Amino acid sequence: MECIRDLTGDIKELRIALLDPQTIEFVPGQYIQLEAPAYGDNPEPVFRAYSVSSPPDDNGHVELIIRLVPGGICTTWVFEHLKEGDEVRLTGPYGQFRLSETQREMVWIAGGSGMAPFWSIVRHMKRHNIARKTTYFFGSVRKADLFFLDELSALAKELPWFEFVPALSGNDGDWSGERGLITDVVARRVSDSADVEAYLCGSPGMIDAAIKVLHDKGVGDDRIFYDKFA
């Protein structure tokens, strides 16, 4: 484990330098399985899925964005036991979540650690000049729960095809961005019958609510792709 840093009060970023093998090949959007060893009251190792947040060109490392699930086996181990310098085991890559081959406009919707695959994908798109029109809706309750705002706002300034729309559902003052549940913001900002593909990551509740909004907009299931973090 090369580096562990706090992104918010309950989200950490892990940067893992690969030892054996020393590199990984994956498609941005895929996930790995991280092993939490036996510890405390957890008698056996468990594996949990985490989307890779680093871009594939950084192939000697894997970065993950992990939100603490109170009482959760793996996330409690990550937050309370795992230290920089520790060796960890992971397997993969796995999963079908990835950009389609089309050039269709995209809407991305994420909350919390659902940021992970999009942080990989957007940096991959920039590096490889994949200029597909994209609007990224990223929601949380409080301002303190948002992260990578500066980085994504800078990318939005630099990349003409990329728009970043962070939104708050709570009532923090000092916020000039969008307000409301991320699904309400999507409902307001995506036009009816929009010819878009939608990519979603985060809690099952958020994804189910967002799919409903997308259906109301005329986006069919064949254009909706998601990973439920369950």
Residues in contact with ligand FAD by CB under 6 A are 31, 48-51, 65-67, 69, 71-75, 95, 113, 116, 203, 227, 229-230
Of the two residues 121 and 190, which places its CB atom closer to ligand FAD in the complex?
Answer: 121
Distance in Å, CB of 89 to ligand FAD, minimum: 15
What is the residue type of 78?
V
Distance in Å, CB of 77 to ligand FAD, minimum: 8
Using CB atoms, what's the residue nearest to ligand FAD?
A: 72
Of the two residues 74 and 211, which places its CB atom closer to ligand FAD in the complex?
Answer: 74
3-state helix, strand, coil in the chain (%, to 5): 25, 35, 40
Half-sphere exposure (Cβ direction) of 41: Cα atoms closer than 13 Å: 4
Instruction: Give the whole-angstrom CA distance, residue 196 versus residue 36.
Output: 38
Of the two residues 152 and 190, which places its CB atom closer to ligand FAD in the complex?
Answer: 152
Distance in Å, CB of 49 to ligand FAD, minimum: 4
Coil, helix or strand for 188? helix
List the one residue out of 145, 125, 101 whose CA is nearest residue 136: 125
Distance in Å, CB of 144 to ligand FAD, minimum: 17
Distance in Å, CB of 133 to ligand FAD, minimum: 25
Taking a C-beta distance cutoff of 8 angstroms, is the pair 34, 18 a contact? no
Of the two residues 19 and 230, which places its CB atom closer to ligand FAD in the complex?
Answer: 230
Of the two residues 178 and 225, which places its CB atom closer to ligand FAD in the complex?
Answer: 225
For residue 64, the surrounding DSSP H or E stretch is strand 61-67
Task: Give the pair of three-digit tokens for residue 103.
Answer: 């050039």
Coil, helix or strand for 97? coil
